[in-house]
Amino acid sequence: MKLKKFLAYLIPATVFSLGMASCSDFIDIDPENQQDVEAVDYTNTAQMYQPVVGTYNNVRAYAAHWANQLLMFSRDGDMWSGRTDDQAAAVDFGRYYNYNNGFWALNNVWVTFYSIVRSSNAALEALDNYKAHIDPSNSQELANYSQYCGEARTIRAWAYYQLTNNFGPVVILENNNQTDFVRSKQETVLNYILSECETAMGEMTATSKCRPNQMPHNGAVTYYTAAMVAAQTALVQGNWDKAEKYSDEIIESKKFSLYSDYYNLFKIPGKLCDESLFEIQCTDFGNPSGDYIGVDQWFNFAGCAMKNEATGKTFGGWGFMKYEDSFVNWAKERGETVRYTTSIIIPGVPTPSGDVCTKNPNEGHNYNGKGYLPYDQMTAGTTSWGRNNNVRILRYSEVLLINAEAKVRNGKSGDASFNEVRTRAHMPTLTGVTLDQILDERRMELCGEWCVRYIDLVRTGKAAAVLGPKGWTAEKTFWPLPATQLENIPDLEKDPK
């Protein structure tokens, strides 16, 4: 069986980007700027970072495809896809748990993350080819090789984390020449992710025990990014000791802190701030046209019709991704202020930036404000929704809440980590916090982000009570395998090993 059938519609995994990666302030290669690996001069070890940059490009090009929001972010009962007149199958998926494995967006999620896996595999292979030409006495280049391997491995582990939490048993693709496509059980995949993160932490050099915004290649994943993915994975496994261990290590490093302004955390001022452990970098270089490194329609897809009150300028996007009224009411009843205003755009209610959603407030239009970029932060000359903003993936606030939960489950106090998150949100501190309080805090703090709430409901056994009335059952924990993949790879239908 040819590997190309495994992931239809992907660019070949044997290419990686070349060009500007030596620039130290931005991982900024355009995904189209590629060269066949066979033409690469591996003796030129000064170019060793290029395959890793190619992996970052694939995260930007694929992970930030709007269809991933469409399905992944609408699984938890708090958010839905937002429109019934377009991509209606997504409504069936997220609101009623009626899955259609022929839906193109389902295949898109699968292809998205395997494209990142394959790119990471190709990067690791290329790095080994470079290593063969490193002078054994060149300690700096050897350290770079190790660091770069750790970065590629961390990104690959994150991709598997997304795959297994959406599809359950999936194929562990050790390399791009593999012909065994029998899936592995979820527990096996989770163990693999944890092992990969621990290996990556061992590969990361001392210089990467820092924040992404301190890296020589600004924004690159670090030792602590790998530790966070490990902590997330341990939480899903119910391995409270490791969840506590790795979240403790991140906290005790004192490298990270919560961005003080929650509202601007998700906007231009918060790009790659000290709270970030992983985000997709974008830039329009301050120009309304010309060179642009971005995420296609990721922001525009979820943008609602807006009007700036001061200037009368209008802007907006496709109008997907809305919160259910039940979530909006729950957040309001909790007494949320900062997070309520930031996370939820309600028609007719001006944002702190003076923009107003012009949709009819009586039709259930409660949009995800975490993708909103105010008019006064847009690059002059453009009103493209979200242009020039970054896509946030991993944040320190989640580390704190992982730590609080792990400590409580281990019979300790989780108050300190928990209240650090609450304080930033202008919420009163609590003592003797319980597991349910921590899960509610996660629900509010991380709403509209990478299907965190759904994973929490499943791993804590609460999904049946919360989502059951909507049609969810334990058999629907994971999505079915995409029809396109089953057609091309019969091995996927075999029992997981």
In this prediction, residue 427 carries a pLDDT of 98
Q: What is the 3-state secondary structure (H, E, C) of 393-415?
A: EEEHHHHHHHHHHHHHHCCCCCH
Residue 469: exposure state from Cβ atoms within 10 A (0-12, 13-18, ≥19): exposed
Structure tokens at 164: 């297994």
pLDDT at 495: 97
Low-confidence ranges of the chain (pLDDT < 70): 1-38
pLDDT tens digits for range 151-160: 999 999 999 9
Q: Is 286 exposed, middle or buried (0-12, 13-18, 19+ CB in 10 A)?
A: exposed
- Positions of E strands within 77-142: 79-80
| pLDDT of amino acid 432 | 98
pLDDT value, residue 37: 52
In the prediction, which pLDDT does 38 show?
60
State both tokens at 319: 């109008």
What integer pLDDT is reported at residue 362 of this predicted model? 75
Q: What is the pLDDT of residues 444-467, one digit of tens each?
A: 999 999 999 999 999 999 999 999
- Alpha-carbon distance of 330 to 337, in angstroms, equals 12
Question: According to the model, what pLDDT value does residue 360 have?
Answer: 84
Nearest CA to 75 out of 361, 471, 422, 485 is that of 471
**Percentage above 70 pLDDT, the chain:** 92
Angle at 398 between CA 394 and CA 399, to 5 degrees: 95
Among 195, 277, 193, 201, smallest CA distance to 233 is for 193
303, 316 Cβ separation under 8 angstroms: yes
159: left (phi over 0), alpha (psi -120 to 50) or beta: alpha
Burial (0-12, 13-18, 19+ Cβ within 10 Å), 495: exposed
Look-up: residue for tokens 């395998």? 481
Hey, how many other C-beta atoms are within 10 angstroms of the C-beta on 153?
Answer: 24
φ/ψ of 208, rounded to 5, equals -95, 5
Q: What is the pLDDT of residues 324-354, one digit of tens each?
A: 999 999 999 999 999 999 999 999 999 999 9
What is the pTM for the complete model shown?
0.94
Cα–Cα distance measured from residue 442 to residue 439, given in angstroms and rounded to the nearest whole number: 5
DSSP 322: E
Hey, what are 478's tokens?
A: 């994971």
